Amino acid sequence: MAHEPSPNWHGTTILSVRKDGKAVIAGDGQVSVGQTVMKSQARKVRRLADGSVVVGFAGATADAFTLFERLEGKLEKHGGQLERACVELAKDWRTDRYLRRLEAMMAVANENVSLVLTGSGDVLEPDDGVIGIGSGGNFALAAARALIDRDDMDAEAIARRAMKIAADICVYTNENVIVESV
C-alpha cells in the first residue's frame, strides 16, 4: 500500500497595516484541510511581551506556537528590542535542526516597526508599512495598498476592509477577523 501524503493545510490570511503611528495585525479565522473547512474561528493573532508586540502567523499551528514561545524568549533576553529579537529568532530558525522543519511565517509589529519573519532567515521591514502573508495574503496586501492613502481610513479600517476583500476572493479566507493593535 502506498503512503498517502498528509493533507494540504490552507486557510490563513494575515495582514499588518501601519499608518499614522498605529500598527494593526489582522487575521482571519478559517482553517481548511484540502477543500474542507475544519474551523472557522481560529485565533491566528496574538499579543506578546505584556501586550507591546502583536504577532500573526500563517502556517502549521503547533509550529506557530513554538515560534511564539521562542520569540517571547528572545524579547525577554534582549530587553524587548523587537528587531534584535527577530533577527536572533530568524538565525535560530534557519540553523537549528528542529526549527528548520517548522512551516510558518510571522508578521510582527510593535509601536515602532513591522516585520516579516520566515524560516529562510528573512527579517523584512516593508517600505510602505503593509504586510500580507498566508493563502490570501497577496489579496489583502493589494487591497490595503490601494486603501492606504485614504484620509478617511485609519490602520484598523484599512485592515478590516482589505481582509473583507481577501475573503471575497480567496476560498481559504473567511470574514471572522481578529484585529490587534499597538
Which residues are known catalytic residues? 12
User: Residue 83 has which C-alpha cell?
Assistant: 528587531
170 exposed, middle or buried (CB, 10 Å; 0-12, 13-18, 19+)?
Answer: buried
Ramachandran region, residue 59 (left: φ > 0; alpha: ψ -120 to 50; beta: rest): left
Burial of 137 per CB tally in 10 Å (0-12, 13-18, 19+) = buried
Q: Which residues pair with 118 in a beta bridge?
A: 105
* Signed CA dihedral, 68, 73, 77, 80: sign only: positive
Axis crossing angle, helix 155-169 with helix 137-147, rounded to the nearest 10: 140
Bridge partners (DSSP) listed for residue 131 = 16
